[in-house]
Structure 1
Amino acid sequence: MSNAENHIKGRGAQKRVHNRFFELSHELRDDFLNYCEAEGEEADANKTKYIDVFPKTFVNKVDSPDVGMGYSANPYQGCEHGCVYCYARNSHEYWGYGAGLDFERTILVKKNAPELLNKKLKSKSWEPNPIIFSGNTDCYQPIERKLEITRKCLETMLQWKHPTGIITKNALVLRDLDILKEMAQLNIISVNISITSLSEATRRLLEPRTASIKQRLKAVEVLSENGIPVRVMMAPIIPSLNSHEILPLVKKVSELGAKNVSYTIVRLNGQIATIFEDWARKTIPDRADRILNQIAECHGGRLNDSQWGRRMKGEGTIATQIKNTMEIAKKKYLKNSKMPALDGKHYLQLKNPQMRLF
């Protein structure tokens, strides 16, 4: 299937791409070396760089009308998981790096995130709008095991009893089960686990440094058993690559206790179209043309689609088939199940004790 001679194992992107905003390259210091944790997988031997940054704010307002969140918080910029399709790759260019291998090899670390978060939550003007961790890059990527920035942020959210969401594809989320269980008792937590396939072979190609499918399914089961509401995100669905797995995937996660399943159709915005096409030609050359053509068919004939309303779910025959199949799967396996609305009253009462009188 793949062209082993050209394929960089353990990485999603297969090449560096230039930063559209910078003509000059930047020399960076090596801080740590971290190899792929996937079982038995020979990883790319290039060093992953971790660089401390010190932003003035941590909680970001999300203005996109079709994303489904109002505020996000990202302890890290860049993501070593290396998912080749990741929409967040383009954001790395604003930091002076490329959207290809730079996105996976140069991780910016916000060690002051917990302090900034606490400052935000104690602000008089702040309302209990749910804050979603990993709106851009995964808050449980490999370096989190060592730095525990996400865990410290969750401790802050629990201290303030504030509505919280998590999006991740790493089973490391189970490390923080003690905090999540307390939050669940207050109905202030929901967890979204990204599972794009039930095939480990597909996972290794698409998402080379993520937790295995077995580990992610276990995370869904353990979280659900402990009363923590879980939504599985089949995001993205890629025509002719994982689109045939909708029914079996929804069936499997429903059996493990997931309350809902959401999806997006892959969109290759900005530099990602170039990165994805290069990846497809090197890793699945026998299917590359078919997959690329079907993706374009879902997005008005282009790989790069930024049109509101269409970019997340697509349009046309293939997109309609995917939508219908997902609806059938949810009616069959998740008929009366839904995610609970998060509760903001605990935060308001803590912030303003006089409200307890009402």
Structure 2
Amino acid sequence: MRTRRNFIQKMGLSALGLYTFQGLNASSFSLLKQKAADGPVLRVALMGLGGYATRVAESMQQSGRAKITGLISGTPEKLKTWGAKYNVPEKSRYNYENFDAIRNNPDIDAVYVITPNALHHNQVIRSARAGKHVICEKPMGLNAKEGREMVEACKKAGKKLLVGYRMHFEPLTLEIHRMRTAGELGNIKFFQGLSGFRLGDPTQWRVNKALAGGGALMDIGIYALNGCRYMVGEEPVWVTAQETKTDPVKFKEGVDETITFQLGFPSGVTASCLSSYNMNNLDRFFLNGDKGFAELQPASSYGPIKGRTHKGPLDISSDRPQQAVQMDEMAAIILDDKKPVIPVDGEEGVRDLVLIDAIYKAVKTGGMIKLG
């Protein structure tokens, strides 16, 4: 009997002071303490029933506007177990070969793709062609070319494509974004983003170039990369980058262990970021302006996120999982055409992929890569 890992490997190789609620805007506060407003429920098929899908599925039990109505996996045992746990009938359980048949299933509105990076491109396009909206985990694809093809396929099908940027709905993140937009930090001068952890199992898909498409930058560094863009509020015009590799056995050719990268923005703001599979105690965002600063540490973990500004601590806590908030907000985007404060659409995913391409190019050439 095939395992999910065997199937993924096969597919991958073929695909190659107290600062409290007073500062929060209404949007941030509602995301923190309340379920989404009443409205139609987004019926979601989860694709790829691994570790993160488990977290999403459990969190969705606290979602007011999204529910699991379909399952897609290469492991029959998981389909049976998850089907029983989440009350998904056999007719709404699919494998990777036959999931195109979801086009005939009126109980599924959207597919949430939570598989290794190299599989996203094909699976997103197939889901859109099957007439379903798509939510795709980040990075959306392996490169900007793939990302643009995914966006085009969803547009052609008349379906929305969203990316799993859960931090775009996180209340402290939104509050700092609001402060910067309102001018409370003054003119922004500098951003620092640190993202990384010590990778364990050397056999996992994250260090398989055919499945991951890269290394730490693709997996964890994208938080700092994406974060610098929405925290600064501009798009970079140049990047430089350097790679450090201390374990070439674990991190083979094409799988980056640690990359430091720098970005420049039109206004003169600079950003310095670190992405690593060999360091813990990172996960920090720091935004500095001429009137004040804002810091998150941890900045992108599953919570609780903690922060402070020049006004004092951001003393805010949430009793809702980030993924529950994300799914409620994405249901509103798909079903109600709600516009999020920070974009989560396919075009946003492509912007990150353009920068990832440029960073890898900068590592190889040793020079500055101009953008735009």
Q: Provide the TM-score with structure 1 as the length reference.
A: 0.33
Greater share of residues in strand = 2
Q: Which structure has the higher relative contact order (CA within 8 Å, separation 6+)?
A: 2
Q: Provide the TM-score with structure 2 as the length reference.
A: 0.32
